[in-house]
Amino acid sequence: MAMWQGAMDNRGFQQGSFNSFRSSSSDEDLMDIPGTAMDFSMRDDVPPLDGEIEEDKSYNGGGIGSSNRMMDFLEEPIPGVGTYDDFNTIDWVREKSRDRDRHREITNKSKESTWALIHSVSDAFSGWLLMLLIGLLSGSLAGLIDISAHWMTDLKEGICTEGFWFNHEHCCWNSDHVTFEDRDKCPEWNSWSQLIISTDEGAFAYIVNYFMYVLWALLFAFLAVSLVKVFAPYACGSGIPEIKTILSGFIIRGYLGKWTLIIKTITLVLAVSSGLSLGKEGPLVHVACCCGNILCHCFNKYRKNEAKRREVLSAAAAAGVSVAFGAPIGGVLFSLEEVSYYFPLKTLWRSFFAALVAAFTLRSINPFGNSRLVLFYVEFHTPWHLWELVPFILLGIFGGLWGALFIRTNIAWCRKRKTTQLGKYPVVEVLVVTAITAVLAFPNEYTRMSTSELISELFNDCGLLDSSKLCDYENRFNTSKGGELPDRPAGVGVYSAMWQLALTLILKIVITIFTFGMKIPSGLFIPSMAVGAIAGRLLGVGMEQLAYYHHDWAIFNSWCSQGADCITPGLYAMVGAAACLGGVTRMTVSLVVIMFELTGGLEYIVPLMAAAMTSKWVADALGREGIYDAHIRLNGYPFLEAKEEFAHKTLAMDVMKPRRNDPLLTVLTQDSMTVEDVETIISETTYSGFPVVVSRESQRLVGFVLRRDLIISIENARKKQDGVVSTSIIYFTEHSPPMPPYTPPTLKLRNILDLSPFTVTDLTPMEIVVDIFRKLGLRQCLVTHNGRLLGIITKKDVLKHIAQMANQDPDSILFN
């Protein structure tokens, strides 16, 4: 038989030194679980598989009179046993079994005393308390980020003389010198040209403002990328691809630690304020998950169990979307649809509670000063007509095309960054992209403003009090409908805005491709929505003018009479935003809910649904992966997508290791190997675990032992047990046979042995094997033939096989 080669390399091991296997991560690390050894030993009524010994024998191996020389030192838990190495996958079955045992023990003890009953109640309540804390912390951080980003964005253009901590809008709120036409100008707010050269008029003042805008943008970007590079490399990107992978059971130590949280919070404000084409909504999910992971350390139930911790992280992701968009229900659905791998009903309730608390906290902070949870909350007053489904579907097609184009080009650029010298200079890349963005953005007011403000203006339904160029219609004050404006001819301001928006659309499409994936916090929700909102507003104004000038056409005359208020361009912008976001992320249900929570318009669900589904169909026709799945595959993470079907007719024997002509499978025997033999195998291999068999001749399976548990257990025995030497025999059996006199003590490691590893036969279809890995969250599966161990299939082997069947590079899967 051939040697198993599909397991993940254990990079922490150095030959001759077992100390490197001890967990050295701090309490911030995602998987740092000190003192979490669990007892998986069989009970005494389970007979041994081989070399049966009578239970009443007092002799237990060793020399004369040495009845207690069998070293079963695992009766007391050893810190580190039962935990996982970095960049490995957890065993969902084992973690759930641990939690059931823990819960059963607490329930049984609760009947014995009042204190045990109180402990049982507090254990049951701890989950809800944890959700409350996550919601409060996530909402507070989101409010801090929103307020800081708004202030620093305005800092690029000027400063408030009444108090430098006021942003532009707050500075002019209480001013007595603000006019209706120039509501954004007040004596208290000074541009940089007014401060430096005491005037805001002329070409030189324009150049000064231009220079200061670019300078501040470069400063913010430089600080962001420098902090990420020096203190927390994991704080870059949106974090959602890694969150999805972690929730599927993968281990990335430190990705959700306290340093990552601190640096991501600070640099997210800097990155958004720099004016780059990115958003804060995606990174807020990462921030919320960091909060959840750190708070898990306060509760043993979640600190010591990886599966339970991932239930908390699923709820934290919902809280992150809740505060990002002010959409609690959409946040829960986003976590369910997009990021979560295991989402039981209990997690659904707790996610809803966490999202509710987070949204309430953000609303209490009121970061936008408008009593709303989001900056671009709007309400439309005109109903849509059935004929408008045609342009809505066209926007869906545009969103799907944009999504497919963006994913392909962005992944190609990110792959180039990883495989060339470009990836070695993240600071230079960020500064170059920032400089290009700032230089091109300043002359155009729609690119100069923050992307959130741009979306807010594009969503806006023009009224009598609007002074935006988008609302500069002829006869704008000639209305017989009270506060609502009828369809009217576009004025000079509208035509000027259309040209500027067209240029903005081109810039956003191009620059976002190069921005997403840089070594700074960067979300994709807002840039994608901005692209769609611009396209939607352009189409909406076009439809509005078409209805005004050609109201007698067949498509208009039945529902749009002359002078009526028929078309709402802001609605088209909203539908376009949903279409482009759906095309990039492939969200459907959660996307529609988030969008109508943003606008408060339940009657516009059908247009949103039509656009979201159309964009998904079009994008799926051009490429099956969303942007987050594409980045997961680019990084080689072992994420087994539950949405894809495996339709190939291969068998387990076609995938298992070893293959024909490969070296023999590396196994341990249950009662014939010394400590030196096991240490030699560990030194010469990099496998994550080893099957344990009765003997090499019989290949009769006993169980499976993890490499990490072996190393920690042997190291602990050498330190704490007298007499354990290299020639000591290691036993994985319940009992040990009589030993000759004066032999070194034996070492019993049955307690670290998984006695129920999952097995399949060699003729099991891979379709079933893939389904088993998905639904049970397995790390590995042993393959047998007529009861004899034949090989092993790891999660990495499954992913490589799927990639090979899809004509993709199987070596792109880097981790197990």
Mean pLDDT, consecutive 10-residue stretches, the chain (816 aa), reads: 39 40 39 34 35 36 38 57 81 87 88 88 91 95 92 89 82 69 74 86 90 95 95 92 92 92 95 93 94 93 90 94 90 91 88 94 81 68 82 95 95 92 91 96 92 88 72 61 57 88 95 94 93 95 82 69 73 93 92 83 85 94 90 88 81 89 87 90 90 90 91 86 82 80 82 89 92 88 91 90 82 67
For residue 386, the tally of other CB atoms under 10 A from its CB is 9
pLDDT for 67 equals 38
Let me know: does 670 contact 731? Beta carbons within 8 Å: yes
Q: CA angle at residue 721 from 720 to 722, to 5 degrees?
A: 120
pLDDT at residue 564 in the model: 59
| Rounded-to-integer distance, Cα 629 and Cα 242, Å | 10
Q: What is the pLDDT of residue 76?
A: 58
User: Could you tell me which of 719, 385, 764, 730 has the C-alpha nearest to residue 551?
Assistant: 385
Largest CA distance in the chain: 111
Phi, psi of 422 (to 5 degrees): -60, -35
Cα distance between residue 143 and residue 165, in whole Å: 15
Q: What is the pTM of this model?
A: 0.84
Closest CA to 302 of 317, 313, 316: 313
- What are the chain's domains? 131-172+181-365 (1.10.3080.10), 388-460+497-630 (1.10.3080.10), 652-806 (3.10.580.20)
DSSP annotation of 442 reads: T
Question: Which of 592, 584, 590 is CA-nearest to residue 629?
Answer: 584
Q: Is 82 left (phi over 0), alpha (psi -120 to 50) or beta?
A: left
Q: Is 694 exposed, middle or buried (CB count within 10 Å of its CB: 0-12, 13-18, 19+)?
A: buried
Q: At what angle do helices 114-155 and 306-325 cross, to 10 degrees?
A: 40
Within 13 Å, how many C-alpha atoms sit on residue 232's CB side?
Answer: 29
Q: What's the token pair of residue 231?
A: 């203190």
Tokens matching residue 528:
């994608």
Position 491 scores a pLDDT of 77
**d(C-alpha 331, C-alpha 374), whole Å:** 14
Question: Are the beta carbons of 730 and 674 closer than 8 angstroms?
Answer: yes
How many residues appear in the chain?
816
730 beta partners = 673, 747
Please name the amino acid found at residue 605.
I
Q: Which residues contact 290 (CB under 8 A, 6 or more apart)?
A: 256, 257, 258, 260, 261, 264
Q: What local confidence, expressed as pLDDT, does residue 537 receive?
A: 94
